[in-house]
Amino acid sequence: MFWPMTFGVQTEELESLEWPNAGYTIVLGSNLVQTRLPDVHHLIEAKKTGKVVVVDPDFCATAAKADEWVSIKPDTDAALALGMAKVIIDQGLYDKAFLQDFTDMPVLVRKDTGKRLLAKEVKTLKNEADQMDIPEYRTLFVVYGNNRLIVLDPEHLAPTHADLIGSHRVELTDGTFAEVVTVFSLLKEMLADYSLETAAQITGAPAETIARIAVEAATRKPLHIIYGASNYQWYHGDLKGRALSLLPVLTGSIGVSGGGISTYAGQYRVRFNLSEWWFPKQGKLNWVPYLHFLNKGGPRYPEKGIKAMVGGWGNPFDQHNMANALKDRSASGDIEFVATFDFNMTTSCMWSDVVFPATTWYENYELTATILHPYLQLQEPAIAPLFESRTGFWVMRELAKRLNPEWEKYFYPDLDDTQASLEIIDLLLKTGGMETKGITLDMVKKGPVRLHSAAPGDRQVPFYEQIHDRVPFPPPSYPAPLPATARFVPSGRIEFYKDEDLFLAEGEQLPVSKPTFADTEYKADPEARSKYRLRFVTKNSLYRVHSTHSNNVWLNELQGHKPKLFLNPKDAKQRNIAANDLVEVYNGRGKTRAYAVIDPGCREGTLIFEQGWWARYLQDESYNSLTMPWIKPLHEIYFVPGIWSPTSVWNECLVDARRITL
């Protein structure tokens, strides 16, 4: 969620081929050695030209390969980033011109309201502002430079030479005066709370280390920050992302080869414009965030509730928060009908009224793209669908037509599903926009084809156009039209100051560090603090892709056929747990079980469980019966269908553990 707030995009990332071009790489909570196994050699390459630092509460596989491992307390990355930002600013290691031209750092903020000063509020600027023709999703803010107030043009990122620091008294149109101050001054003021001592105390990392990596990061550019999934799957993950964004921005490492901030996880963004077939021309898209469905409420939850659930390509009865609540709701009839299509008999299939046997990757056409490789790749059937299995397209067409015969026309009724798939892929390539220009079905049939980008060599370098060609932020996020997303950065620049009322009320105008669980577990149950003393971190397994391959006998053999949990020796000792003991993990919401690994690399106070085991391997006690779909209200501001909805925060979860005596 820090992406829309800061950059106005869904997500962005460097392709893995760009990793070796970084001068300095900091990986925070992304276990690339396990979760990006096919690409991780590029990270190893990055060590030759630059330095790779891994910040993780666990001595994970990636930490083991890094030049340096910095162990911090979970969910304290914001304090680390803010402590580093303070060092970079105090030592004058920031890129002044970059901040002036491409960020909101010179923008003036009213001290009385906390809102950004609007050009139309200022007596001497109102006329000029009224005459400027800007799109409705932009706002005219004010900066100060060359001893005068200047309207900040959101449509042109020309050099402004605006002051980064300063406060002024400004006459408003109604004759009153307002005190204003730059965002950068406010940031500096706020960072006074993040001295090295404070950052060290919050994170548990030594002050000297924080100071040293800050200086290294700012002097061995470009800086690349990799912000991983487990790290942002916390309630204040957005604050962490905003704080971490400060580092590449302060050092001017945005829009350049090898630099920036990347999140190789989450709501994977669509690579090109596929609205031509994806969105029917007429009609309204009713999009209910999954967390609203789980919470049975929220601004977009339908008044009459939801009675049916049709799923494919996913296994929510294991993989989603409140897996047990989902089961209860199905069993009680609250959800009346569940249908799933899959080629594995997953837990979700077991809980379905109807299961459609789906084709596998080797039985159908599919156009794929990934976040690490900007290539389009055609999956082609190697064999005809086996037994009763059908393609996802076939199932959707048949379902759609039974819901409303009118809808069949969107699904190429005259073609069989294979031909229809190719027809759709062809249409999407032709109408995909700049990214697919010149790419044909024949080309992808021959092999992977690189998508086009604005950067040289079609490299995937986020914001290259914004910095190199001074095109205002943000680039489009598909499938939404630009106005739907650009309104989140109305200055046309990278924004660190947010002034919607809720940000002001929460004290989150600027990125700050907030304590874990204060707004969630401790609020819901004040006794949770003493009852459940372990943070439950559920990370991804080397041996599965989520729950896919959960039943693969060879991969299970490699794991000794045992789900495992990782505990620090001190935490284990306190609970009388020894290596290989069967352990119950519990809280007020649910429980699960796994065999103990006593691991000094695992930070004290943290219990790590590798998610993805089907319930049948856990005696039907799901790890996701312990988790909770907390929703941070701020996230509701950024709802855009198909792009943003409130983030799941699986790690915002307290548990305790006890040995099971059989």
Q: Which of ligand MGD, Mo ion, none does residue 231 bind (CB under 5 to 8 Å by kind)?
A: ligand MGD
Distance of alpha carbon 123 from alpha carbon 130, whole angstroms? 12
- Asked whether 367 and 378 are in contact (CB, 8 A), the reply is yes
Distance of alpha carbon 244 from alpha carbon 190, whole angstroms? 15
Within 10 A of 1 (CB to CB), how many other CB atoms are there?
A: 23
CB nearer ligand MGD, residue 386 or residue 545: 545
Which 242-281 positions form the footprint of Mo ion (CB under 5 A)? 265
> What is the phi-psi region of residue 305: left when phi exceeds 0, alpha when psi lies from -120 to 50, beta otherwise?
left
CB nearer Mo ion, residue 238 or residue 571: 238
Q: Which of ligand MGD, Mo ion, none does residue 293 bind (CB under 5 to 8 Å by kind)?
A: none
CB of residue 232 to ligand MGD, shortest distance in Å: 8
CB of residue 242 to Mo ion, shortest distance in Å: 21
Q: Which of ligand MGD, Mo ion, none does residue 545 bind (CB under 5 to 8 Å by kind)?
A: ligand MGD
Q: Which residue is nearest to ligand MGD (CB)?
A: 29
Q: What angle do CA 619, 625, 628 make, to 5 degrees?
A: 170
CB nearer ligand MGD, residue 391 or residue 453: 391
CB nearer ligand MGD, residue 38 or residue 483: 38
Distance of alpha carbon 412 from alpha carbon 175, whole angstroms? 64
CB of residue 626 to ligand MGD, shortest distance in Å: 8
Distance of alpha carbon 82 from alpha carbon 247, whole angstroms? 9
Q: Which of ligand MGD, Mo ion, none does residue 210 bind (CB under 5 to 8 Å by kind)?
A: none
CB nearer ligand MGD, residue 72 or residue 143: 72
Q: Which of Mo ion, ligand MGD, none does residue 315 bind (CB under 5 to 8 Å by kind)?
A: ligand MGD
CB nearer Mo ion, residue 21 or residue 35: 35
CB nearer Mo ion, residue 267 or residue 418: 267
CB of residue 429 to ligand MGD, shortest distance in Å: 20
- The 3-state DSSP class for residue 478 equals strand
Q: Which of Mo ion, ligand MGD, none does residue 492 bind (CB under 5 to 8 Å by kind)?
A: none
Select from 493, 466, 462, 377 the least CA-distant residue to 425. 377
Distance of alpha carbon 359 from alpha carbon 357, whole angstroms? 7
CB nearer ligand MGD, residue 377 or residue 548: 548
Binding site for ligand MGD (CB under 6 A): 28-31, 34-35, 55-58, 60, 72, 74-75, 77, 228-231, 233-234, 265, 312-316, 319, 341-344, 346, 358, 361, 392, 537-542, 544-548, 611-612, 623-624, 627, 650-651
Instruction: Provide CB contacts within 8 A for 188, sequence distance 6+.
Output: 89, 165
CB of residue 309 to ligand MGD, shortest distance in Å: 13
CB of residue 567 to ligand MGD, shortest distance in Å: 13
Location of structure tokens 């809980």: 351
Alpha-carbon separation of residue 144 from 119, 180, 472, 516 (angstroms): 12, 10, 20, 38
Distance of alpha carbon 403 from alpha carbon 556, whole angstroms? 41
Alpha-carbon separation of residue 72 from 2, 56, 201, 202, 608 (angstroms): 21, 6, 10, 9, 15
CB of residue 267 to Mo ion, shortest distance in Å: 9
Applying CB under 5 A, which residues contact Mo ion? 265
